[in-house]
C-alpha cells in the first residue's frame, strides 16, 4: 500500500498527533491498508478545503454549478439512477445476539458481516483519495453531543458532511479529549445494487457502508450514527435518540414551549419545523423557532424535564412539494450555498421540482431533456443540503449546549382514515403505546411500494439500532417519581374525505393544533375524554379563518369505535411480533384501550 497523506489544494489536512488519537491513527492506517487509496486527506473543515472540494467536483462533472444570480454558491449533483434512496432491505444491524437486534432489523452475525465487508472494501479506493472526516453530532461543547469519524472516498460526502455536522478541527480536538468516537467506513464502490450493504455494529460503535453514494446510506453521521448507533448508545447511557423535529412556539407574552415531533420520512417534519403561523396568529404576536427538522437527542435534566439538542447542523430536506405556499422558510433557506441532489433544472440552470411553481423544466434529474413520458422531472426523493443557520426561523437555542426543555412530544403519520386530527395520551405509558403502535402510509424516501400502511413505531422503524421491545421498555423507564415528563400527543394531518381530498388544510394551519397542545400543557385548554385519548372539540381550536367543511368538522374530531376496536386488535397482534421481550405494561395498556372501546 503506497498511499500518502495528500496535500489537498493549498491546505493539506494535517495528520493528528496525541496519545488519545493513537486508536484513530491506527484505524486509519489499517483502513488504508485494506482499501489501498492513492492519497489520504485528513479533513479540517476549513472554507478553503470546501472550496477546493467543490472545484474538484466541478472539474470532474460530478457537481454542476447552478445559476449564480438566482442561486449563488449552489450546485447540482446527479446520483446513479439505481442509487436514489435508503435501502432498508440491505441495511443490517450486526450484534452477537440476534435478539438484541430484534425482528425490526435485518440481522447478520458480526463475524460474517466483517468477512463480507472486508472483501468488498479490499482495494476499493485504488486511484482515489481517502478522506478522513472527524465530526461532532450536536453543539461542539454540549455534554449530549457525540463524535464520530467517517472515512470515505466520496468528495460529495465530505462536502455534505461539512454542512450537516460540526466537522473538522474542533471535532478532532474533542475526540482527543474524550478518546471515544463512532467509526464509519464508506466507499461508493462500483455503485452496483448487487454489491451494496449498510452494516451497523452497535456493540463496536462501528458503521460500514459500501456501494451507495445516496445521503442516508453515505452521510454516515445522519441516520446511521445519529439514530441507529446513537439509539443503542442512548439506551446504555439513559437518554433518547429520536427521529424527531424540534420546534419552539413563542406566545404573545414571549414564553416559548418546545415541541419534539416524530413523523416518518416525507410526512411533513421539515414543514412543521419551519411553520409560518396564519396571519391572525402573526398579528397577535405568535412566533415559531426552528431548532431541528429531523433528529432529536433528549436526556433528563436536573429538574426532571427532558432537554433536547438537534445533533445536526444542516438540513437534508426533500425538495418535491417544497414551495412558497407549503414552506416559505425552507424555500428561503435554499436560495444560496446549497447542494441539490437529483432535482431538475430550468433553461437558465435554476433548480426545479414538482410543486415548486408552474415553470416547465429543461432537464430532468438524470440530465435528459425533459419529457413528461419519462416520469417526474425531479426524482420524488430529490434533496437539498443546506446549513440550518440559513433558515429565517432558525433558533439560536439550537446551539445551546444544555438543549431546550421539551413541553410536548408528538407522534404522527399518514392515515387517510380512522385517526382524528389530534388526541392527547392519558399518561406516559399510554403515550408510549400510541408511539409504539403508530402507523403510516409509505413514501418515496425508501425503496419499495408507496402508499402501503405499515406500523412505524415512533417513526423509528428504519432507524432503531436494537430490538423494538427493548426500545419500548427504555421509553417506559423514563416514568420515574421525580420526572416531569412532556405530554404526548398524536396528530394526523392527512385524513381524507369521501372525495379523496385532505380534510385538514395543514401547513401553517397546523399552528392551530399546536396552540391547543400548549393550552393542554398549561392546563387551560378543554378536551373531551374518549376511549383513545383526550380530543378537542372543533370549538376548542381557534379555527378563525380556517375553511373547514362540515365533513371535516365531523370526521377530524370524532372516534369511530368499531374501526378503533379493529385497530386495537391489530395493535395487539403487532406487539406479539416482538415476543416475550415486550414490556407487560405495554400489553396491559393495550388491554385497557380495548376495554374502554367496549363501554
Helix axes 428-437, 561-576, angle to 10 degrees: 80
Classify 5 as helix, strand or coil.
strand
Residue 320 lies in a domain: no
Dihedral in degrees, nearest 10, Cα atoms 43, 44, 48, 53: 20
Residue 570 lies in a domain: yes
307 lies in the same domain as 195: no
187 lies in the same domain as 148: yes
469 lies in the same domain as 528: yes
Residues 234, 219: Cα–Cα separation, whole Å? 20
Residue 82 lies in a domain: yes
CATH classification at residue 410 = 3.90.228.20
Q: Please work out, in degrees rounded to the nearest 5, the angle formed at the alpha carbon of residue 366 by the alpha carbons of 361 and 370.
A: 30
Residue 100 main-chain phi, psi, to 5 deg: -65, -40
Please report, for residues 58, 174, 413, 442, the alpha-carbon distance to residue 453 in angstroms, rounded to integers and kept in the order given. 42, 43, 10, 6
Residue 422 lies in a domain: yes
Residue 366 lies in a domain: no
18 lies in the same domain as 155: yes
Binding residues for Mn(2+): 223, 243, 294
Residue 218 lies in a domain: yes
Residues 176, 460: Cα–Cα separation, whole Å? 32
Residue after which a domain boundary falls, among 237, 272, 301: 237
Binding residues for GTP: 266-271, 383, 414, 507-510
C-alpha grid cell, residue 102: 430484534
300 lies in the same domain as 170: no
Range of the domain at 44: 4-237
283 lies in the same domain as 211: no
How confident is the prediction along the chain (599 residues), in pLDDT tens digits per residue?
Answer: 445 554 333 334 556 767 669 999 999 999 999 999 999 999 999 999 999 999 999 999 999 999 999 999 999 999 999 999 888 899 999 999 999 999 999 999 999 999 999 999 999 999 999 999 999 999 999 999 999 999 999 999 999 999 999 999 999 999 999 999 999 999 999 999 999 999 999 999 999 999 999 998 999 999 999 999 999 999 999 999 999 999 999 999 999 999 999 998 768 899 999 999 999 999 999 999 999 999 999 999 999 999 999 999 999 999 999 999 999 999 999 999 999 999 999 999 999 999 999 999 999 999 999 999 999 999 999 999 999 999 999 999 999 999 999 999 999 999 999 999 999 999 999 999 999 999 988 765 555 666 778 899 999 999 999 999 999 999 999 999 999 999 999 999 999 999 999 999 999 999 999 999 999 999 999 999 999 999 999 999 999 999 899 999 999 999 999 999 999 999 999 999 999 999 999 999 999 999 999 98
Q: Cα 390 to the chain's mean position, in Å?
A: 18
40 lies in the same domain as 130: yes
26 lies in the same domain as 173: yes
Hey, how many other C-beta atoms are within 10 angstroms of the C-beta on 107? Answer: 17
Residues 319, 376: Cα–Cα separation, whole Å? 13
259 lies in the same domain as 233: no
Count of structural domains within the chain: 2
164 lies in the same domain as 259: no
| Whether 164 contacts 314, CB under 8 Å | yes
34 lies in the same domain as 177: yes
Residue after which a domain boundary falls, among 210, 237, 264: 237
CATH classification at residue 89 = 3.40.449.10
Residue 576 lies in a domain: yes
Residue after which a domain boundary falls, among 237, 269, 290: 237
Active site residues: 267
486 lies in the same domain as 582: yes
Binding residues: 86, 214-216, 223, 243, 265-271, 294, 381-383, 414, 507-510
Residue of 425, 403, 398, 396 lying closest to 412 (CA atoms): 425
Residue 8 lies in a domain: yes
Amino acid at each position: 500500500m503506497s498511499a500518502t497523506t495528500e496535500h489537498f489544494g493549498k491546505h493539506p489536512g494535517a495528520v493528528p498527533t496525541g496519545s488519545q488519537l493513537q486508536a484513530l491513527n491506527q484505524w486509519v492506517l489499517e483502513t488504508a491498508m485494506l482499501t489501498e487509496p492513492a492519497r489520504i486527506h485528513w479533513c479540517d473543515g476549513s472554507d478553503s478545503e470546501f472550496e477546493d472540494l467543490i472545484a474538484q467536483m466541478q472539474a470532474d462533472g460530478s457537481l454542476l454549478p447552478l445559476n449564480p444570480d438566482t442561486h449563488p454558491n449552489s450546485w447540482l449533483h446527479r446520483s446513479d439512477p439505481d442509487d436514489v434512496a435508503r435501502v432498508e432491505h440491505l441495511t443490517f444491524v450486526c450484534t452477537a445476539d440476534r435478539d438484541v437486534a430484534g425482528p425490526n432489523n435485518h440481522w447478520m452475525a458480526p463475524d460474517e458481516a466483517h468477512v463480507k465487508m472486508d472483501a468488498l472494501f479490499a482495494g476499493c479506493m485504488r486511484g482515489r483519495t481517502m478522506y478522513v472526516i472527524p465530526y461532532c453530532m450536536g453543539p461542539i461543547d454540549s455534554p449530549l453531543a457525540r463524535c464520530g469519524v467517517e472515512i470515505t472516498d466520496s468528495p460529495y460526502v465530505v462536502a455534505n458532511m461539512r454542512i450537516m455536522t460540526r466537522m473538522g478541527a474542533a471535532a478532532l480536538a474533542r475526540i482527543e479529549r474524550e478518546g471515544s468516537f463512532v467509526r464509519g467506513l464508506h466507499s461508493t464502490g462500483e455503485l452496483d445494487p448487487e454489491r451494496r450493504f449498510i452494516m451497523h455494529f452497535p456493540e463496536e460503535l462501528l458503521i460500514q457502508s459500501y456501494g451507495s453514494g445516496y445521503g442516508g446510506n453515505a452521510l454516515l453521521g445522519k441516520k446511521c450514527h445519529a439514530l441507529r448507533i446513537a439509539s443503542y448508545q442512548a439506551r446504555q447511557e439513559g437518554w433518547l435518540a429520536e427521529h424527531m423535529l424540534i420546534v419552539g412556539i413563542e406566545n404573545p407574552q414571549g414564553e416559548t414551549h418546545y415541541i419534539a415531533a416524530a413523523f416518518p420520512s416525507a410526512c411533513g417534519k421539515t414543514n412543521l419545523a419551519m411553520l409560518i403561523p396564519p396571519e391572525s396568529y402573526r398579528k397577535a404576536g405568535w412566533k415559531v423557532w426552528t431548532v431541528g427538522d429531523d433528529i432529536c437527542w433528549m436526556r433528563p435534566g436536573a429538574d426532571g424535564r427532558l432537554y433536547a439538542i438537534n445533533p445536526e447542523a444542516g438540513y437534508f430536506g426533500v425538495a418535491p412539494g417544497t414551495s412558497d405556499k407549503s414552506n416559505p422558510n425552507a424555500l428561503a433557506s435554499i436560495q444560496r450555498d446549497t447542494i441539490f441532489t437529483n432535482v431538475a433544472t430550468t433553461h437558465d440552470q435554476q433548480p426545479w421540482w414538482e410543486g415548486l411553481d408552474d415553470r416547465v423544466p429543461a432537464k430532468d434529474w438524470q440530465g435528459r431533456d425533459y419529457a413528461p413520458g419519462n416520469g417526474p422531472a425531479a426524482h420524488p426523493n430529490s434533496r437539498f443540503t443546506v446549513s440550518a443557520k440559513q433558515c429565517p426561523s432558525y433558533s439560536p437555542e439550537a446551539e445551546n449546549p444544555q438543549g431546550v426543555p421539551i413541553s410536548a412530544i408528538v407522534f404522527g403519520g399518514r392515515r387517510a382514515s380512522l385517526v382524528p386530527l389530534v388526541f392527547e395520551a392519558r399518561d406516559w405509558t399510554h403515550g408510549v403505546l400510541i408511539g409504539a403502535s403508530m402507523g403510516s402510509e409509505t413514501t418515496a424516501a425508501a425503496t419499495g411500494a408507496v402508499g402501503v400502511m405499515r406500523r412505524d413505531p415512533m417513526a423509528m422503524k428504519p432507524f432503531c439500532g436494537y430490538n423494538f421491545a427493548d426500545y419500548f421498555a427504555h421509553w417506559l423507564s423514563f416514568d420515574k417519581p421525580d420526572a416531569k415528563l412532556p405530554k404526548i400527543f398524536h396528530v394526523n394531518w392527512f385524513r381524507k374525505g369521501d372525495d379523496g381530498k385532505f380534510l385538514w388544510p395543514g401547513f401553517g394551519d397546523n399552528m392551530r393544533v399546536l396552540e391547543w397542545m400548549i393550552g393542554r400543557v398549561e392546563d387551560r385548554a378543554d378536551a373531551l375524554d374518549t376511549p383513545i385519548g383526550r380530543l378537542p372539540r372543533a370549538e376548542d381550536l381557534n379555527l378563525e379563518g380556517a375553511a373547514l367543511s362540515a365533513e371535516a368538522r365531523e370526521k377530524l374530531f370524532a372516534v369511530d369505535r368499531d374501526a378503533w376496536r379493529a385497530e386495537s386488535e391489530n395493535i395487539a397482534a403487532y406487539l406479539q411480533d416482538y415476543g416475550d421481550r415486550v414490556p407487560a405494561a405495554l400489553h396491559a395498556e393495550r388491554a385497557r384501550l380495548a376495554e374502554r372501546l367496549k363501554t
